[in-house]
Structure 1
Amino acid sequence: MRILILGGTGFIGSAVMQRLAADGHAVTGLARSVARARARWPEVQWIAADLADLQTAAAWRPHLDGFEIVINCAGALQDGLTDDLAASQQNAMLALYEAAKTSGIHCIMQISARVDGTGADLPFLATKHRADAALAESGLPFVILRPALVVGRNAFGGTALLRALAAFPFVQPLIHAESPVETVDVEDVATAVALAVGGTIPAGSDIELAAPARLTLETTLALHRRWLGLAPAPTVVVPEILGRTVTLLADLAGRLGWQSPLRSTAMTVMEGGVTRSNDGEPPPFAMRTLSETLAAHPSGVQDLWFARLYLMKAPAIVTLSLFWLLSGLLPLADVERAASHFLPLLPPAAATAATLLSCLLDVTLGVCVLLRPLARRALLGMLAVTALYLVAASVVEPALWLDPLGPLVKVLPSALLTLTSLAILDNR
């Protein structure tokens, strides 16, 4: 079968893509950024497109030519700098359905979520609900799959946060520790999709996917901690005011393009638990429990490193931003004194101009690193400017290397933190 997978680079989408490709299907992935995807999966064809730009049937038709099945694995948790839920999860899907009616598409499959639980009125679930309802009423053959909390060998979003909290030193910090949680192995999700492609799951099916075991969030975290090879730790319930503060900061980060699993949408959904409804269709086969999933993929040291570094990313980025903002703003308090460092090379007017220019450059880098789409380039810019500063200072005032306050030596830890931030910047 010729299959188009929306969100092919995502946590679920990549697992679905690999399973269907292994089954012999001709698979094409669609995602916003596919440069690295082409390198990782050269056997798969790729289309670079943003769902937020595909708002009409006419915009979709060139991308649907030659395909028999479309599988939507794309999704976003909350509106932000790079995510528009109404555009990508609702309007783009309605346009897709309209285009599919005249494009030879045999079936559309939607990876959705339970949309009638806690937080049903939030944009994340409300847009999915409207897209699901429109698909069911479109007259097109369809299958809707609603996974619970998806876990697997890799981690993204909520599952990455679980690993990070499980690796927290000495204690397990939690909000909503007693919330019920049901899980599903990402490979079982891919198997369900494969069954739907093969016809074993018939068109018109709307199925919730979850293993039979229902856990608490606290137990889920404890299982991950044991999987990482760490000793049990007591659970510490995070005070409500601290939890709200973290959520507000995560929402702000989302507006800057950072896709934190601590945003308010995730916290609201988790408060009510991630479980199946009581009246949904049963899963099509026995699904692996969380214990079975973790046992099937023993952890290695790289998993422990990931878990321990995950929560360090935000503090590292904020620290770098403050460092560069302060380095650009503080000299403005005494421009003449700051410009004196350039006098051995430049006349006074040029030295002042160079000082102001370097301050502007520092402030720009400090701001840009907070914007997720610009963060990588900002970090690379920081490294380049740091190298330039060190070389210039070594030529003009080499004695600064021996200064008791260490103005040049202190730059080296900043460069190391920048390299570390680059190393852990990617989410998947």
Structure 2
Amino acid sequence: MKILVTGATGLVGSAVCARLATEGHDVMRAVRPGKRPVEGISSWVEVDVAKAVEPSAWLPHLGGVDAVVNCAGALQDGMTHNMAGVHAQGPQALFRACEQSGVRRVIHFSAIGVDRQQPSTFSQTKLSGDMALMATDLDWVILRPAVILGAAAFGSSALFRGLAALPFLPSMPSTGRLQVVQLEDIAETVLRLVDERAPSKLSLEIAGPQALEFDEIVARYRRWLGWHPAKRYLLPRPLASLVYWIGDIAGLLGWRPPVRSTAAKEIVRGAVGNPSEWIAATGILPLSLDDALARRPVSVQERWFAKLYFLKPVIFVMLPLFWISTGIISLTSGFEQGVELMLAGGAGFLAAPSVIAGALTDIVIGCAIAIRRTARWGLYAAVLLSLFYAAAGTAILPELWNEPLGPLTKIWPILVLHLVALAILEER
């Protein structure tokens, strides 16, 4: 079959594409503009689901397609995400285009519990997309998974690893139980249901066999990683609210932390359901978290990732603050000292303009690193500027190398930290 998969670079989409391809299907990956798949993938198209709100945006991509799998999703509105467009308007246009082009089979990913409660815009828009599909005469299947975990580390799957690496276990207040489901079971489900002979017009809850507390899941990951149990610490509600607020700010800057206000609203009701209809429709016996972890021997890469998980946001907070604060200091309390240093180096009438230009450049670089879309270029610019400062300082004031506080010597560890930031920048 020729199958169009939206959200093909996401956690679920990439796993679904890989599983379908291994069975010989011709997979056409629909990705957001600028999110080209890895090298070697030839069948792909760029489509911004949130903006493709008319059937005409989808029809050119449906020629010869036998089935569509919609894996596109977003946790919360932000700089690059519009949940109404991603979950409802874009998919509705896709479903109408399928009707017009003769594509009958549509597998659509929703979320467990959205038909029972809609505490946030996430679940409200997910339900709108579900209802749009159910209103069609297509051979549709709506999949409503609980929290998805797998070998790939992204979203919740990454968060649990990161929490497991902390010396203590911070527990968020008011969290419901979770029937986590394995990514490989999700991909296998799509493979079995995409066949035209499979049952259709079904809404299936996909949930694992264990209903676990949030803390229990973290504890299992910690044991899997080979570390001793950590003492549980319940975060006070004001501190938990602050954490969610910081996550929202990061989301507005284009980052995608799993801990945001939407997660706070959704996790109260948990993610539990009845998987019996799913099991009956597919014959899949879902893996428990314990069995899934037992199948994956832990590696040094897993431990590295877990320990770096919370260091990454610290790095991407400190680097912008470092550059922005140095720029502000150079323009205010440190301006005269900066000019004096430039004059001592023979800058002459260019001393003051040089200090101002350097300070403004520092601020721009700090802002660029803070924004996800420009972070890579900001880091590259920071590396080049650090090398320039080292070279210029050596040429103009070589005695700075002998200063007890090491203003030039400290450039090298700063440079290394920027290279570390570049190495861990990608989120998936």
TM norm. shorter chain > 0.5: yes
Structure 1 Cα separation of the partners of residues 321 and 201 of structure 2: 53
Please report the TM-score for the alignment, with normalisation by the length of structure 2.
Answer: 0.94
User: Could you say which residue in structure 2 is the equivalent of 1:174?
Assistant: 171
- Listed one character per residue, the Cα deviations across residues 56-85 of structure 1 (whole Å, up to 9, x for unaligned) are 111121122221211111110000011111
The 3-state SS of whatever aligns with 1:38 is coil
Moved more, 184-193 or 173-182: 173-182
Give the whole-Å Cα distance in 1 for the aligned partners of 2:179 and 2:347.
69
**Matched residue SS, 1:78:** coil
Per mean C-alpha deviation after superposition, the further-off stretch among 101-110 and 68-77 is 101-110
CA–CA distance in structure 1, aligned partners of residues 303 and 209 of structure 2: 28
Tell me if the contact between 1:173 and 1:238 (Cα under 8 Å) persists in the aligned partners.
yes
Residue 312 of structure 1 aligns to which amino acid in structure 2?
L
Establish whether residue 232 from structure 1 lines up as the match of residue 241 from structure 2.
no
CA deviation profile, 1:131-154 (whole Å, cap 9, x unmatched): 100101111221111111111111
Q: Which piece of structure 1 moves more, 145-154 or 26-35?
A: 26-35
Could you say which residue in structure 2 is the equivalent of 1:356? 356
Structure 1 CA distance, aligned partners of 2:238 and 2:179?
27
Q: CA deviation at 1:371?
A: 0.8
Q: CA RMSD in A?
A: 1.9
Query: Which residue of the partner structure matches residue 188 of structure 2?
Result: 191
- In the TM superposition, residue 248 of structure 1 has moved relative to its aligned partner by 0.6
Q: CA deviation at 1:348?
A: 3.3
**Cα distance in 1 between the residues matched to 2:306 and 2:115:** 29
1:74 equivalent among 72, 75, 100 = 72
- Structure 2 SS opposite 1:109: strand
Match of 2:287 in 1: 288
Partner Cα separation in structure 1 for residue 216 and residue 310 of structure 2: 21
Q: Match for residue 111 of structure 2? A: 113
Q: Distance in 2 between matches of 1:219 and 1:121?
A: 24
Distance 1:46 1:69 in 2: 15
Distance 1:43 1:94 in 2: 27
Q: Indicate the SS of the match to 2:37.
A: helix
- Counterpart of 1:153, as a letter, is A
Q: Take 2:34 and 2:347, find their aligned partners in 1: how far apart are those partners?
A: 49
Name the residue aligned to 1:47: 45
Q: Which residue of 1 aligns with 2:307?
A: 308
Match of 1:266 in 2: 263
SS for the counterpart of 2:414 is helix
1:218 corresponds, among 215, 218, 221, to 215
Q: Which amino acid aligns with 1:350?
A: L
Segment drifting more, 315-324 vs 341-350: 341-350
Answer whether contact 1:172 1:234 (CA < 8 A) is retained: yes
Partner residue in 1 for 2:135:
137
Corresponding residue to 2:86 among 76, 85, 88: 88
| 1:240-284 alpha-carbon deviations (Å, 9 max, x no partner) | 111011111111111111111110111221122111159966563
1:412 aligned residue: 412
Q: Letter of the aligned partner of 1:243 in structure 2?
A: A
Q: CA, structure 1 residues 200+58, in 2 after alignment: closer, same or farther (shift >3 Å)?
A: closer
| Paired residues of 2:122 and 2:262 also in contact (CA < 8 A) | yes
Paired residue secondary structure (1:51) = coil
SS in 1 for 2:50: helix
Aligned-partner SS, 1:349: helix
How far the C-alpha of 1:53 sits from its partner, in A, is 2.3
1:368-383 matches, within 5 Å, as 368-383=368-383
What's 2:162 paired with?
A: 164
Tell me the CA shift for residue 412 of structure 1.
Answer: 2.0
Using the alignment, how far apart are the partners of 2:234 and 2:246 within structure 1? 19
The whole-number CA distance in structure 1 between the counterparts of 2:184 and 2:212 is 20
Q: Secondary structure at the match of 1:202?
A: coil
**Is the 2:106–2:194 Cα contact (8 Å) retained in structure 1?**
no
Whichever residue aligns with residue 37 of structure 1, its letter is: P
Q: CA deviation at 1:50?
A: 1.5
TM-score (norm 1): 0.94
CA contact (8 A) 2:225 2:303 kept: yes
Structure 2: gaps (5+ residues): none
Structure 1 residue 55, shift from structure 2 partner: 1.6
Tell me if the contact between 2:58 and 2:94 (Cα under 8 Å) persists in the aligned partners: yes
Matched residue count = 425
Task: Give the counterpart of 2:120 among 107, 119, 122.
Answer: 122
Quick one: distance in 1 between partners of 2:277 and 2:189? 16
CA distance in 2, matches of 1:218, 1:322: 33
Q: 1 CA distance for matches of 2:3 and 2:224?
A: 35
CA contact (8 A) 1:5 1:30 kept: yes
Please give the alpha-carbon distance, in whole angstroms, between the structure 1 residues aligned to 2:226 and 2:197: 39
Rounded Cα–Cα distance in structure 1 between residues aligned with 2:326 and 2:121: 40
**Is the alpha carbon distance of 1:417 and 1:209 closer, same or farther for their aligned partners in structure 2, counting shifts above 3 Å?**
same
What percentage of residue pairs aligned between the two structures are identical? 36
